Structure formats: C-alpha cells, structure tokens
Amino acid sequence: MRKLLFLSLLLPFTMLQAQTRIIGDVDASRMVERHVELNQRVKTIPGYRVQIASFSGANSKTSAFNLRENFLTDYPSVQAYIVFDEPNFKVKVGDFRTRLEAYAFLQEIKEIYKGYIIRDNIYPEPPQLEEYAPDDEESGDE
C-alpha cells in the first residue's frame, strides 16, 4: 500500500520533469539556432597580427593614424587597423592565420617598424570597403 501511495505521488513529478525537458530541448534548439545566426554575421576567426605601436596621451590618435598611413604607403597589400583600447591607440597590421606567417612578416618589417606578434581576431579575407560615389543628382551636374 505504501509503495502504491509513493508511486502515485511520484508520478506527477516525473511527468512534470518530462515536460520540462521538452521545453528545455526547444530552448536549447533555439539557442543553437541563435548561435549559428550570430556566427554567420561574425566574419572573423582567431589568428595573429603584428602590433607596431601603442600611443597614449596628447595627440595619440593623430600619431596612430599617421603611422597607419605611413605603413599603408610602405605595404599597400597588408591591412592595418587602429584599435582604441583605453587609454591607448594601438596600430595592428596583417591578418595571419598562423604565428609562423606573422613571424615571417615581422622579420620583413623589423628594420622599419618595431613590433611584436599578438593573438587577435582576424579577417580571413580582407574586409570589403565600400567606396562612396555620389550620385549625379547629388553633385548638381543636371
């Protein structure tokens, strides 16, 4: 008799847990879908860059942008990025998948730019920068 009473009390809790698992699975499925959606938006992967400078203080932003422009003049085929990591403006170059690739590039530039290799999220392909081309209507050539 006690066993029957115990089972009758336990049965509703078991059914409740089963319902919770189903809801949990639906939520887990939604979380996975959301994760996939977010990963499709993110276009970066783990990799390496060479940090060639870090500026702080007065005129640090101007110094970082000037160095970036100089670097791009010397190495137009290599991407260069400025990152503001308070209070520093950091100039990072390259999108290298391996540390060895980053090291080879560092050896190439070390006479002009002192730097070191850092782990960073990189673009596997350079980002497409859209050129701004004003429409004829905006330029007033009508």
pLDDT tens digits for 104-138?
999 999 999 999 999 999 988 755 555 544 554 44
C-beta atoms surrounding 115 within 10 Å? 20
* Cα-based distances in Å from 109 to 12, 30, 45, 48, 54: 71, 47, 24, 16, 17
Q: Which ranges in 1-142 belong to alpha helices (H)?
A: 2-41, 60-74, 99-109, 136-139
Strand order in the sheet with 80-85: 80-85, 88-96, 45-55, 116-122
In the predicted model, what is the mean pLDDT of the chain?
Answer: 79
- Over range 26-43, report the average pLDDT: 75
Q: Which residue has the higher pLDDT, 60 or 6?
A: 60
Are residues 96 and 45 in contact, defined by beta-carbon separation less than 8 angstroms?
A: no
- Over range 16-31, report the average pLDDT: 60
Going 60 to 61 to 64 to 67, the CA torsion angle's sign is negative
Domains and CATH numbers, the chain: 45-122 (3.30.70.1070)
In this predicted structure, which of 16-20, 83-87, 99-103 has the lowest mean pLDDT?
16-20
Judge whether residue 42 has pLDDT over 90. Answer: no
Residue 103: both structure tokens together: 């090291």
Going 119 to 121 to 124 to 128, the CA torsion angle's sign is negative
Q: Which residue has the higher pLDDT, 32 or 92?
A: 92
Q: What is the pLDDT of residue 129?
A: 54
